[in-house]
Structure formats: structure tokens, C-alpha cells
């Protein structure tokens, strides 16, 4: 029956057998992911119980949002789960880029400098910082930027970092995930090593971690190894696929308060901001997040094994330890990249009948192709694939609310390549 429904969905016998053989090799590894998910699930439950989450928390608020009990309790749950002093978790934070911009703009002042010790940040932050000129950038407010690239082997350039830190350096931004790059995603322990070194050079520097795509992939988070602030999006890992919008900032109380005053208004801060009926999805999504993240991790590992066996460049490599949910595959072929994305779209529960086309997406310097048949627009904890349509034609795959869906997406992507003779069929058959 299982094989029959795969055939009905368009997966041929050869592709299905190849995928099943790969999957059988991954049983032990998948067990480790499930164990981590169980630990993180219990951690979330413990935080919810400690803060006495009740049905009253789901009532929400309108208008000013004064005395929103559910909102305030949720922020306490986030703070306890991620080991922070305080948290800001709001639907008024529209996306991950907005959350990062908010954290930066609220904790920096004219004359300060922000430094990235891990190379170039994600594309959409370039305009926030002012690397690419944009209205309202940090650069327009007299905040400067410096950058220290990683070494060729992906390790930190400690000498370069020490030389770059100066009297004006107020904050360092550490991007945990690789984004549209082929450098290693940083483990929590590696982040701790970097933070410790930076603090040894200048103890009062604020160490902010862009935590997007990394939440719940390990058994601890960056605040537990010395970071001052972690920032992320609710339509990625912590929203569990249910949050329809939102972002979070968790960390030192002063950092979070600064962000709250910037999000709303001086004098108002966290006291205002109605939850507008979305608060139950925030709670339930966070509750589901550890197991949803585990499904996405399994999908990423399945994809890397499939495409590495077929001779494509994958990053991370199939056997590497994972610290985020993103998997990249490099095709060096435009048609193959687009075929992969068509397969991901064709496997979606939403908009499966449409064909993703490259377009000039805001915040990027070239056309981007994005496959995302999602319940929440742009939700990258749901099964999706995207990438800049330029050499070397690398696609970035992430998400999957359930592992069976992630598996179908990868098989469908391979089917599209198989049908168009864009893959070595001898390796499959």
C-alpha cells in the first residue's frame, strides 16, 4: 500500500527503491535525533509547568494589550526554556530580519560599531547594516560595521578578531546558521568558544546570536554558553509550524528591555502590544517545536545522503553533525536547480500545482527561486527550498513539519531530475 501511494504521487519504482535503501542506513542516526527531541520536549514542558500555563493564557488581547497575561507568561516560558533573564515574543515582530534589526538598532547608538566575527551576514541584513545602502540602515545613524572572515578551513580567525575589536565595538553579531554560504554552521559549543574569547578581549561587548534555524537542534542554546542575546523568527523552528507570524529576542534583561522600547515606544516597552488572537498558536507551536525540528533534521540528513550518493556537492556532508536544519546541494546547472525546486513544490500540500519561477525578491541582489507550498507564507520550518539563481546554482533545502512530508519532497525533487536526465540514472537503477 505504501509503495502504491508513492506511485500515485508520481514517484517511480527506481527512485523509491533508491530512497528506501538510503533511509535504511539512517535508522541509528534518526534514533539520536529522536532522543534529542525528547529531551527538548521535556524542557519545554518543564518551563510551561513552572510558569503555570493555563487556559486563561489563551484568551489574548486587543487594543493596547495592557495586562495580557498570556503574552507575559509566554515570554517567561521562552526565557526559562532558552535560559535567559527576559524575553520579547511578539506578533508585532514581522520576521527574522525584523527581529535582528530590532535587536541591533535598540542596543546600538550613533558612534558605536557592530562587528561580525564569522564573515558576511545573511543577505537581508546587508541593508539593515548598510553594507548595501538602504533607508533607515544602521549606517545612516552613524553606526559603523566591521567584519572578520572565517579561515579557509571554517575556523575562527582569533588574531583577526582581536585586532578588529576597538573602543567603538559595542556589539558582535554571530550568525549561527550558514545562510546562503558554504561555511560550517556553528555548534553551540563553538559559539561558546567564540563568545569567551571576545569577552576576554573586551568584557562589556554585547554578544548577539542570530539563532535562526538552530533552535532545538541541540540540547542547549547559545545563552547557556555566554551569549547575551539570541534572536529568531517564529515561522522557523520555535513556531512549530503553527505560529502565523512573529519573532523573539531572549537574553539579558537590559538587552530585551532596550528592544521592547524600540519595538513600541520609550515609556511603553513590553507593557503594550496586543496578542490579537494568535497567542494559542504561539504556545502550541512552541510545544511542538522540538519534534517538528527533529522531523526537519531527518529530512535534511536524508537529502544529504541521497544527493551525495549521486555525486552532487552537499553541505553539510552526509555524515557531518548537524547544528541547524538547512541542507544545501550544489548543481552547477540552472536547470537542475530549478528542477529540484519544482519537486519540492510538487510535494507540497498547498499550491502543489504551481511551478516556482525565479524573481527579484526584496533584500537580494539577484533573482531568487523559492519553492514553498506552505500553510504560513514564507514559513521555512515547513518544507521549502530556495536559492539565488546564479553560479554555482546552489539550492538550500529546509523544513518539514513531518518527516514523511520531508521524505516525499526529496524523492519528488529527485524524480524531477530523473525524468529530465539531469542525474546519473545508473547510480539509481
CATH architecture, range 2-39+290-428: Alpha-Beta Complex (3.90)
The residue ranges of every structural domain in the chain are 2-39+290-428, 41-286
164 upstream amide cis, omega within 30 of 0? no
Task: Show the CA angle centred on residue 210, arms to residues 223 and 274, nearest 5°.
Answer: 85
Per-residue pLDDT, 363:
63
Q: At what angle do helices 279-309 and 13-24 cross, to 10 degrees?
A: 100
User: Grid coordinates standing for 407?
Assistant: 521524505
List, for residues 163-207, the tens digit of each pLDDT value.
999 999 999 999 999 877 778 899 999 999 999 999 999 999 999
The beta strands (E) that lie in 10-112 are given as 86-90
Predicted TM-score of the model (pTM) = 0.95
CATH architecture, range 41-286: 3-Layer(aba) Sandwich (3.40)
List, for residues 252-265, the tens digit of each pLDDT value.
999 999 999 999 99
Per-residue pLDDT, 183:
83
Residues in the chain with pLDDT < 70? 363
Taking a C-beta distance cutoff of 8 angstroms, is the pair 232, 238 a contact? yes
Same fold, 2-39+290-428 and 41-286: no
* Rounded CA separation 369/372 (Å): 10
Q: Which residues, in sequence order, are CB contacts of 304 under 8 Å at separation 6+?
A: 314, 316, 317, 318, 327, 329
341 upstream amide cis, omega within 30 of 0? no
Per-residue pLDDT, 240:
98
User: Grid coordinates standing for 160?
Assistant: 583577526
Amino acid at each position: 500500500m505504501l509503495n502504491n501511494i508513492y506511485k500515485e504521487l508520481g514517484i517511480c519504482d527506481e527512485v523509491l527503491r533508491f530512497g528506501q535503501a538510503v533511509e535504511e542506513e539512517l535508522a541509528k542516526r534518526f534514533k539520536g535525533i529522536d532522543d534529542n527531541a525528547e529531551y527538548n520536549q521535556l524542557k519545554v514542558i518543564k518551563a510551561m509547568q513552572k510558569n503555570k500555563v493555563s487556559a486563561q493564557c489563551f484568551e489574548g488581547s486587543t487594543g493596547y494589550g495592557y495586562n495580557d497575561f498570556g503574552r507575559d507568561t509566554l515570554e517567561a516560558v521562552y526565557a526559562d526554556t532558552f535560559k535567559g533573564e527576559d524575553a520579547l515574543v511578539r506578533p508585532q515582530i514581522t520576521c527574522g530580519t525584523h527581529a535582528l534589526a530590532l535587536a541591533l538598532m535598540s542596543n546600538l547608538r550613533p558612534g558605536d560599531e557592530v562587528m561580525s566575527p564569522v564573515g558576511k551576514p545573511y543577505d537581508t541584513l546587508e541593508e539593515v547594516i548598510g553594507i548595501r545602502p538602504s533607508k533607515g540602515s544602521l549606517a545612516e545613524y552613524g553606526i559603523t560595521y566591521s567584519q572578520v572572515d572565517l579561515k579557509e578551513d571554517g575556523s575562527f580567525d582569533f588574531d583577526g578578531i582581536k585586532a578588529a575589536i576597538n573602543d567603538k565595538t559595542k556589539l558582535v553579531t554571530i550568525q549561527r546558521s550558514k545562510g546562503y554560504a558554504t561555511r560550517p554552521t556553528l555548534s553551540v559549543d563553538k559559539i561558546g568558544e567564540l563568545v569567551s574569547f571576545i569577552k576576554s578581549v573586551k568584557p562589556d561587548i554585547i554578544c548577539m546570536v542570530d539563532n535562526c534555524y538552530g533552535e532545538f537542534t541541540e540540547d542547549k542554546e547559545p545563552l547557556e554558553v555566554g551569549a547575551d542575546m539570541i534572536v529568531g523568527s517564529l515561522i522557523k523552528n520555535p513556531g512549530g509550524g503553527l505560529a502565523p507570524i512573529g519573532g523573539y529576542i531572549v537574553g539579558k534583561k537590559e538587552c530585551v528591555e532596550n528592544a521592547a522600547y524600540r519595538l513600541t515606544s520609550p515609556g511603553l516597552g513590553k507593557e503594550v502590544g496586543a496578542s490579537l488572537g494568535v497567542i494559542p498558536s504561539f504556545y502550541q507551536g512552541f510545544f511542538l517545536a522540538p519534534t517538528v525540528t527533529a522531523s526537519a533534521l531527518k529530512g535534511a540528513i536524508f537529502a544529504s545522503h541521497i544527493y551525495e550518493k549521486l555525486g552532487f556537492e552537499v553541505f553539510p556532508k552526509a555524515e557531518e553533525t548537524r547544528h541547524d536544519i538547512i541542507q544545501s546541494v550544489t548543481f552547477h546547472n540552472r536547470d537542475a536547480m530549478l528542477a529540484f525546486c519544482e519537486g519540492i513544490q510538487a510535494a507540497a500540500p498547498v499550491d502543489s500545482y504551481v511551478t516556482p519561477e525565479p524573481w527579484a525578491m526584496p533584500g537580494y541582489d539577484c533573482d531568487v527561486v523559492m519553492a514553498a507550498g506552505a500553510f504560513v507564507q514564507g514559513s521555512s520550518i515547513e518544507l521549502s527550498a530556495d536559492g539565488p539563481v546564479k553560479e554555482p546554482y546552489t539550492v538550500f533545502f529546509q523544513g518539514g513539519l513531518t518527516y514523511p512530508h520531508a521524505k516525499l519532497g526529496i524523492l519528488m525533487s529527485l524524480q524531477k531530475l530523473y525524468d529530465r536526465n539531469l542525474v546519473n540514472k545508473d547510480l539509481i537503477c
